[in-house]
Amino acid sequence: MVDFGILNWSIVIIYMLANIGLGWLMSRRVNTAEDYYLGDRSAPWWAIGISVLATYVSALSFLGGPAWAYGDGMAALAIHVNYALVIFVCIVFFIPFFYNSGVASIYEYLERRFGSVSCMVMGLLFMFTMSVGAASILTATAFVVTFITDISATTAIVVMAIIVVVYTMLGGMNAVIWTDVLQGIILILGACVVLVSLLSSIDSFPEALNFLDMHGKLNPIRTELDFSIAPTIWAGVFAMTLYHITVYGANQFMAQRALAAKNIGDAKKSYLVMGFAAFFLYFVFFLIGALLFVYYKGEPFEQPNQIMLIFSNSLAIPGLLGLITVAIISASMSSTSSALNSLATISVTDFYRKFYKPDADEAHYLNVSRIFTVLWGIMIIPIAISFAGGKGSILEVLSKVGSYVVGAKLCMYGMGFFSKQVSQRGLLVGIVAGFLGLLFIVPLDILKPAVDPIWLAMGVDRPEIAWPWYPVIAGAINFVVAWLASVALDGFKQEWHQYSVPGQIKMFRDQGKAMTSGGWYLVPGKVEPVVWLLPVFFVGILLFLAWFARLG
pLDDT at 416 over 60: yes
The 3-state DSSP class for residue 512 equals coil
pLDDT tens-place string over residues 360-409: 888 888 889 889 989 999 999 988 888 776 555 555 555 666 677 788 88
Domains of the chain: 5-395 (1.20.1730.10)
Q: What is the mean pLDDT of residues 65-82?
A: 87
Taking the alpha carbons at both ends of the chain, their separation in whole angstroms is 37
Whether the predicted model's global pTM rises above the 0.85 cut: yes
pLDDT at 134 over 70: yes
pLDDT tens-place string over residues 203-222: 888 899 999 999 888 888 88
Determine the Cα–Cα distance for residues 156 and 387; give it in Å rounded to an integer.
Answer: 13
H or E segment at 159?
helix 153-170
pLDDT at 527 over 60: yes
Provide the pLDDT for residue 171.
59
**Residue with the larger pLDDT of the pair 195 and 141:** 195
pLDDT at 546 over 70: yes
Provide the pLDDT for residue 526.
94
Provide the pLDDT for residue 391.
53
pLDDT at 60 over 90: no
Provide the pLDDT for residue 402.
65
pLDDT tens-place string over residues 281-337: 889 999 999 999 999 988 888 777 778 878 877 877 787 778 777 777 776 777 787
Provide the pLDDT for residue 467.
84
* 228-242, 258-272, 333-347: the lowest-pLDDT one: 333-347
Amino acid at 386: S
Looking at the chain, the whole-number percentage of residues with pLDDT higher than 70 is: 93
CA angle 399/281/345 to nearest 5° reads 55
Provide the pLDDT for residue 483.
96
The 3-state DSSP class for residue 379 equals helix
Determine the Cα–Cα distance for residues 167 and 25; give it in Å rounded to an integer.
Answer: 12
Determine the Cα–Cα distance for residues 47 and 55; give it in Å rounded to an integer.
Answer: 12
Please report the beta strands in 297-444, taking only residues with DSSP state E, as ranges in sequence order. Answer: none
* 142-151, 303-312, 512-521: the lowest-pLDDT one: 142-151
pLDDT tens-place string over residues 437-481: 988 998 877 888 888 899 988 988 888 898 889 889 989 999 999
Q: Would the CA dihedral through 111, 38, 88, 246 be positive or negative?
A: negative
Looking at the chain, the whole-number percentage of residues with pLDDT higher than 90 is: 29
* 111-120, 122-131, 147-156: the lowest-pLDDT one: 147-156
Report the half-sphere exposure of 408 (CA within 13 A, side-chain side). 27
Determine the Cα–Cα distance for residues 359 and 362; give it in Å rounded to an integer.
Answer: 9
Provide the pLDDT for residue 45.
92
pLDDT at 148 over 80: no
Provide the pLDDT for residue 83.
94
Determine the Cα–Cα distance for residues 447 and 440; give it in Å rounded to an integer.
Answer: 9
Provide the pLDDT for residue 455.
92
Provide the pLDDT for residue 1.
56
